[in-house]
Structure 1
Amino acid sequence: MKVRYFIITSFIFLLCASFVSAEEAVWNDTFGYGDGQDIALDGDGNSYVTGGGKDVITLKYAPNGTLLWNSTMDFGMTSEMGNSIALDNDGNAYVAGRGNDNVVILKYAPNGTLLWNNSYDYMGSIDYGEDVALDNSGNAYVTGAGNGRYHFYCIVLKYAPNGTLLWNSSLTLDDTNGLKIALDNDGNAYVTGDGDRSILTAKYAPNGTLLWDNNYPCGSSTGFTVGEDIALDNDGNAYVAGIGNTGVYGDYLYITLKYAPNGTLLWNRTVNLGLTDQAFGIEVDALGNAYVTGCVDNGVTQDIMTIKYAPNGTQEWNRSVDYGRDNALDIALDNSGNAYVAGYITDSSDQQVFVIKYAPNGSELWNSTCLYWSNSYGIAIALDNNGNAYVAGSVLGATIVTVKFGIPVDETAPEVTINTLEKSYNTTSIVINATATDLNLDSVIAEINGTENITLENISGYFVNSTFEFSEGLNTLKIYANDSFGHINSSENVTFRVDLNSPEITIKLIEGEYLNNGSNVINFTVNESNLDKVTAFNGSTEILLNNSTGNYLNSVVLNEGIYNVTIRINDTAGNIAEKSLNFIIDKTAPVITLNTPVNGTTFTTSSISLNVSANDSLSNVSSVLAQIGSIRNVTLSFDGTYYTGNTGTLPNGNYEITILATDLVGNVNSNETVNITVAVPSSSSRSSGNHYSSDLSDGITSSVIKNTVSNSNIVYGSDVDEGYAQELKENLYNSEDYEISGDTIIVGGPKYNVPANKYDSKFGISISNDYPGENKGIIQVLKVQDNSGNIIKSYTIVYIAGSDRFGTQAALEYFKTLNELPEGPIMVEWTANGPVLA
């Protein structure tokens, strides 16, 4: 991954030039929004680019610059991008980046099919993937940063080729970030990045064990210090390029480090020529020589600086480039040890993509630029086997640009493929479509019926014309492709027929129907005298058909499931008719569980709450009915999670309760039955003479609080709050449809509790996630007078809530210990020893 921090300026136009030899920009292309952050090449010379700014964008180009496919992934946030790309031995592309404030990793097949995508959320905040590397088995190692609420932490992830997360690791040091990752021949992963104002380098074993980590301090602890790139030699030594600081704000150092496989720092080298000395890229050749590139301050402006170090740290040579304000962001080596440096130069007022090539002895072999919209820059570079350099970067920081630098050679005529098929068509408006490839293609012309020539327009790599009207009957089409060297290809031609008739489909099944058997479900007829093919697909699965009766029917019994069937008819003229057919086959009754009451329970209340879990994965539950012995049937209501209701008032006695759950198809499950006993005592009075509700929970000692709880409706919002509320008494009310019309105790804050949301501002203290704070809750009492009727009513509302669940628990537990209702708010904090006054 190549994320770099630098300043750009903007103007306009396109110009590519070479200053030393004949190497030039063979082709360039722009796509989408944002920066091209990384580039990789396969063995055939196809280039893969990733980047973006609002979405994660991945592109694949043929060696001639044809865009073979593109993918844009929108994870729902405005700031998303692919930061790194790597290819396995089969040409699959792995992309790491940031999406929806999570680390994202995507895997694409060579044809652009998304094989899988995974997100990694460190602690629910902003995370991002910076770099990805692959081992010989196709396992992907990703590094980046995870936000731990107050600090970022360097994270390392390992995924199997099928997308399974094998392990994850994070460093415990605050304010760290993994920027680059490299693998040795044994599968050990080396990471470099930001180590809390030091250069971080760490080594992980293939199983995720942290073998060592080092932080190289350089300058002031308040200055900017970071490891920008890492490379390994054949012995497992790690070479790091990065940025240090002198301790003076804005004064940076060009740093190179070498670590042994055991983490010992073998040597370090520093360049300090001015304020803006920074190393961004490093590569190591087969002999262990390190090539480093970046920028230095020449006292007036900024130059590109490339340095070669011997394995022992001796500087072999250094070379600088000075056009104005210049910078190098990446470096690559070919098999001969030549170094290719990519970045940008500023010539007059124009900022241009820049590439320079050095021989192993430091001689400059060539350099070339490409200016796009007067403000463009190269971020990442990759090489093919022929010495061509491919650069990914950005135009104006808003468009991905890809440039191929090399020597154009053209000795052959263009290659032509006519995509307009030799067949029959059902329209006179046939799109002429041809593909013509050549390094120096000049024009593509269509000759129609031997009498009329049309110049075709290049749209996204296809040469097309969609305005010509063909006549019914036979037509001929011949393509002439010309290049700028005078080569012509006129060998391709096709003959086709125009036929304006289309098939008709009549479906005899009701759309969206629910069925409880799979025989002869699909039923349709086709009106077409020249049928070619009749198919029905449920998603990607074909359903076999027969038409022995004149109707097309499914030839095998369909299993239960959700069917979204597409019926497709092709005739010999190429006309296509499609119709969709959606239905559900459900042969299974709903699954039910009677949660409450429990079998064999004796109740001392005459009205019992019913709670049933019922689900049907296909046709959904239509109704849930409770048969209360021979007394009555009760239809239960769905609260979003459970089916609930009440038996109504029952006299003392024994009752059998049977639950009947019916789905939309009519399948019924009546296998859930319990037996209960109702035995309501004649009085629930206590020795004090007070009368409390029979469902009052234990643990309340004060008669005042007992009376308050007994006489109040307990209202909860979330499932967690419901559990707390049950510590007051058994019978509770869900807040969703509750209106306060009498004494009420509200449990839980305004986020999930409707009355809490309504009355929160009327209490002395408003509850939020931030106040009263972590693990803290408040008990408040409000006297309300209702003047809406002829009789003036007054009632008491007790509000028990906290900033989090522990705050609510603390307030409720403390409320149970009170002797009287408080006259003012009481703030309580949950501790390891229980609730205490805050």
Structure 2
Amino acid sequence: MSYLKPSQKLCLSAAIASTLIACTAVQVSPTWERWFSASEQEVRYELIHQVHYDSAGAVLSVGSSSSTQSSHDVIVVAKHATNGTLLWKSSIDLDSDDKPWDSVIGTDGSIYVITETSLVKLNSAGSEVWRRSLAQLLGANPLLRDIEFNNNRLYLAGRDLYVFDIHGNLSNAISQIAPLWDVVVHNTGIYTAGTGQVKRYNSNFNMVWSYALNTVQNPPAELAVANDGSVFVATYNSNPQDSAYLTRLNPQGQLVWSKFFNDPDTNSFQLSGIPKVRLMANGNVVFGVSQHPTRTLYIIDPTTGAIKNSNTQKTGLINELEVDSNNTIYVVGGKTAQKFDANATLLAYSTLGSDADITSGGLAFTATNIYVGAGVLKGGNMTMYLANYKNQ
């Protein structure tokens, strides 16, 4: 296995000082930066976990804020204009542990956020519309991990697969033998993964097929579904420690191939990231694994599972990995945001700060802009941070 080592050469043109641009490993600075808090009058520990760009042309950040005096947590959702102006900021107290595991934007600009036990809806102006405690509704911790929005339905992956309408009514609860970590709603069906199981359902929630992955000890999983219904599933494993598998199933749920990936950093005993998988417009698959301080991207041949290219960086956890229609790869987490080409060659990077929280990080992009969120120290406090870069 060979690794592509990116050049550290800097482009010296001042004209690109604030642009993530297709040049050799350019270190860039943001066009603008914003720091914000749930309460500027308190000492708090605050992180951004997800960033979205909405249809109205604004940037939404979803994070958590914890009081250092009381350890009391709240969810924070903020909307910024594309020039960095704060439009509104909302704090929501749902549970004892208000970590936003995932969030999604509806067609009308509403924001839906899940913690491990609850679901909350905010309208496009930041006002709470309704909340649902699934722990109270079901009498048990639902272990929510993922939320998807499709055709005015909300699909929640957790202890079971839960389906809500946009008014907060639970319409379906599809029982699972073990907790889910991911759900994908696709034109070929509804797909779930977690704890070694991959399943496909039809639109009536009847199971079409089920596949039990081999040698999978831990529940974290991510799915990517191709146009023909082929499924790529990334799973994290504890034996060998911090290893991963990438598996392809055909549209009928039968194994095509499964590839093992060893611990990304055998010398590290720090946090590991959940493996990430995304499909590229050119047909390849990008697979990302990480264990602080190491991250590796693999470009995978979808037919055989063979590694076509790879790139290992000492830049920390992968908290989010996304791909655009031009096969450009975006990664954030572990204090660093990066942009790679279709061969996993590093194009540009930006350091969010030596004091950034390594577990934070979200990103969103358009054809012309990239928005990166995290938790960064400012004035001695870990504060929510949002930055903008030009995407050229």
Structure 1 and Structure 2 fold alike (TM over 0.5) = yes
Distance 1:119 1:225, change over 3 A: farther
1:231 to 133, 148, 155: 148
- Separation (CA, whole Å) in 1 of partners of 2:48 and 2:250: 34
Alignment-derived partner of residue 120 in structure 2: 202
CA displacement at 1:310 relative to structure 2: 2.5
Alignment-derived partner of residue 383 in structure 1: 279
Alignment-derived partner of residue 76 in structure 2: 155
2:248 to 357, 360, 380: 357
Q: 1:406 is aligned with what amino acid?
A: D
Alignment-derived partner of residue 193 in structure 2: 293
1:126 paired with 2:45, answer yes
State the TM-score, normalizing by the size of structure 2: 0.63
Which SS does the other structure have where 1:385 is aligned? coil
Distance 1:360 1:115, change over 3 A: farther
State the TM-score, normalizing by the size of structure 1: 0.31
Asked if 2 retains the 8 angstrom alpha-carbon contact of 1:268 and 1:313, the reply is: no
Alignment-derived partner of residue 256 in structure 1: 161
- Separation (CA, whole Å) in 1 of partners of 2:56 and 2:244: 35
Which SS does the other structure have where 1:278 is aligned? coil
1:116 paired with 2:32, answer yes
1:241 to 120, 132, 157: 157
Q: Which of these two proteins has the greater Rg computed from alpha carbons?
A: 1
Asked if 1 retains the 8 angstrom alpha-carbon contact of 2:134 and 2:142, the reply is: no
1:294-332 per-position Cα deviation (integer Å, ceiling 9, x unaligned):
11xxxxxxxx11122323322222211122524442212
1:537-587 per-position Cα deviation (integer Å, ceiling 9, x unaligned):
xxxxxxxxxxxxxxxxxxxxxxxxxxxxxxxxxxxxxxxxxxxxxxxxxxx
CA displacement at 1:217 relative to structure 2: 1.6
Alignment-derived partner of residue 382 in structure 2: none
- Separation (CA, whole Å) in 2 of partners of 1:209 and 1:219: 23
Asked if 1 retains the 8 angstrom alpha-carbon contact of 2:181 and 2:219, the reply is: no
CA displacement at 1:361 relative to structure 2: 2.6
Q: 2:148 is aligned with what amino acid?
A: A
Which SS does the other structure have where 1:238 is aligned? strand
Asked if 2 retains the 8 angstrom alpha-carbon contact of 1:200 and 1:226, the reply is: no
- Separation (CA, whole Å) in 2 of partners of 1:308 and 1:159: 38
Q: 1:187 is aligned with what amino acid?
A: G
Distance 1:203 1:261, change over 3 A: same
2:184 to 279, 283, 293: 283
Distance 1:264 1:341, change over 3 A: same
Alignment-derived partner of residue 307 in structure 1: 199
Distance 1:290 1:110, change over 3 A: farther
Alignment-derived partner of residue 316 in structure 2: none
1:31-42 matches, cutoff 5 A: none
Alignment-derived partner of residue 110 in structure 2: 188
Distance 1:403 1:169, change over 3 A: same
- Separation (CA, whole Å) in 2 of partners of 1:193 and 1:108: 34
Distance 1:130 1:363, change over 3 A: same
Q: 1:192 is aligned with what amino acid?
A: I
Which SS does the other structure have where 1:217 is aligned? helix
Asked if 2 retains the 8 angstrom alpha-carbon contact of 1:28 and 1:404, the reply is: no
1:673-706 per-position Cα deviation (integer Å, ceiling 9, x unaligned):
xxxxxxxxxxxxxxxxxxxxxxxxxxxxxxxxxx
1:394-424 per-position Cα deviation (integer Å, ceiling 9, x unaligned):
13x43222222226799xxxxxxxxxxxxxx
- Separation (CA, whole Å) in 2 of partners of 1:231 and 1:125: 30
CA displacement at 1:358 relative to structure 2: 2.2
Asked if 1 retains the 8 angstrom alpha-carbon contact of 2:142 and 2:160, the reply is: no
1:404 paired with 2:299, answer yes
Q: 2:76 is aligned with what amino acid?
A: I
1:540-689 matches, cutoff 5 A: none
CA displacement at 1:342 relative to structure 2: 1.1
1:142 paired with 2:61, answer yes
Alignment-derived partner of residue 358 in structure 2: none
- Separation (CA, whole Å) in 2 of partners of 1:138 and 1:268: 34
CA displacement at 1:216 relative to structure 2: 0.8
Q: 1:216 is aligned with what amino acid?
A: L
Distance 1:350 1:180, change over 3 A: closer
1:308-457 matches, cutoff 5 A: 308-323=200-215, 325-345=217-237, 349=240, 351-371=242-262, 372-373=264-265, 378-395=274-291, 397-406=292-301
Asked if 1 retains the 8 angstrom alpha-carbon contact of 2:143 and 2:179, the reply is: no
Asked if 1 retains the 8 angstrom alpha-carbon contact of 2:286 and 2:299, the reply is: yes
- Separation (CA, whole Å) in 1 of partners of 2:19 and 2:185: 29
Asked if 2 retains the 8 angstrom alpha-carbon contact of 1:218 and 1:225, the reply is: no
Q: 1:380 is aligned with what amino acid?
A: K
Which SS does the other structure have where 1:263 is aligned? coil
- Separation (CA, whole Å) in 2 of partners of 1:204 and 1:186: 11
Q: 2:221 is aligned with what amino acid?
A: L
CA displacement at 1:377 relative to structure 2: 6.4
- Separation (CA, whole Å) in 2 of partners of 1:255 and 1:135: 29
Alignment-derived partner of residue 323 in structure 2: none
Q: 2:144 is aligned with what amino acid?
A: G
Alignment-derived partner of residue 212 in structure 1: 130
Q: 1:160 is aligned with what amino acid?
A: A
Which SS does the other structure have where 2:125 is aligned? coil
Aligned residues: 287
Q: 1:386 is aligned with what amino acid?
A: N
- Separation (CA, whole Å) in 1 of partners of 2:225 and 2:136: 28
Q: Which has the higher contact order (CA 8 A, sep 6+)?
A: 2
CA displacement at 1:283 relative to structure 2: 1.3
Distance 1:406 1:237, change over 3 A: same
Q: 1:279 is aligned with what amino acid?
A: L
5+ residue gaps in structure 1? 1-14, 16-26, 30-64, 71-106, 243-253, 296-303, 411-436, 440-459, 462-838
Q: 1:320 is aligned with what amino acid?
A: A
Q: Percent identity?
A: 19
5+ residue gaps in structure 2? 11-17, 23-27, 309-340, 348-392
1:468-483 matches, cutoff 5 A: none
CA displacement at 1:109 relative to structure 2: 4.1
Q: 1:281 is aligned with what amino acid?
A: D
1:695-706 matches, cutoff 5 A: none
Asked if 1 retains the 8 angstrom alpha-carbon contact of 2:200 and 2:210, the reply is: yes
Asked if 2 retains the 8 angstrom alpha-carbon contact of 1:294 and 1:305, the reply is: yes
- Separation (CA, whole Å) in 2 of partners of 1:188 and 1:138: 14
Distance 1:68 1:285, change over 3 A: farther
